Amino acid sequence: MAEMMASAATFVMRSVIGKLTARLAENYHLAKDVERKIRFLKDELSAMDAVLQKLADKDDDQIDGPSKDWRNKGQLCAQSHA
């Protein structure tokens, strides 16, 4: 009887350990995916900031309408977050 109980306990523990391992692996992959996406957004925002800084140094007559509009929206966004 004791041997059967130990066998059942071992089975349950193996099942729990297997499920926990799978869950940890899933969370690890999710965390790595989030990290990759954050790095991508950081790079994109850095590039946008560099372009906006170049546009900020130019007079209105030196840039086209869509770029001017984009620059002005970027400045407004930066001011609202400051």
pLDDT per residue as tens digits for the range 35-62: 999 999 999 999 988 888 888 888 888 8
Mean pLDDT of 6-19: 87
Percent of the chain with pLDDT over 90: 40
Confidence check: pLDDT of 21 > 90: yes
Q: How many residues does the chain have?
A: 82
Backbone angles phi, psi at 74, to 5 degrees: -65, -40
- Indicate yes or no: pTM above 0.75: no
Amino acid at 44: E
Owning domain of residue 46: 2-81
Mean pLDDT of 13-19: 93
* Number of C-beta neighbours around residue 9 at 10 A: 10
Counting the structural domains of the chain, the total is 1
Confidence check: pLDDT of 3 > 90: no
